[in-house]
Amino acid sequence: MALFGNKEEKAARQAAAEAEVARLKALAPAGLAVELMKVYANGSASGLNELQAGMALLSGVKGSAGQVGELREAVREAVQTLENAGLLSRVQARGGGWMTITQAGHEAIAAGAVSQSLERPV
């Protein structure tokens, strides 16, 4: 291995990260909302802001840290979709805020019904 790493390996990681960002950005807000709820379903996320949510969506893709900002607007729209469905709630605090899962969100995850919950008005 070269002193500063393998260029081909780095390029492959970069391409994989770009492909995942493109896939997530291509989803409709409801589709990305379903993906975002998977972050909450794993139990490790109790409250995330939009940047953290983007980071969580890309956490399994090496080399994707530089592309998190590209997801910010798409994540914002997905969060709004989840808020409108009553699955996430925004918590405001000095210096910012974050989203937290609601009881309805927990129930939708447990029932495997996140997508269906997005289809019905609250």
Q: Cα–Cα–Cα angle for 59, 14, 52, nearest 5°?
A: 25
Q: Is 3 exposed, middle or buried (0-12, 13-18, 19+ CB in 10 A)?
A: exposed
List the chain pLDDT tens, one digit each, 122 residues.
455 568 888 888 888 889 999 999 999 999 999 999 988 777 555 677 888 888 888 888 887 778 888 898 999 999 999 999 999 998 877 767 778 889 999 999 999 999 999 986 55
> Is-contact 36 75, C-beta < 8 A?
yes
Q: Which amino acid is at 113?
A: A
pLDDT at res. 1: 47
**Length of the chain (residues):** 122
Domain ranges of the chain: 7-119
- State the architecture of 7-119 in CATH terms: Orthogonal Bundle (1.10)
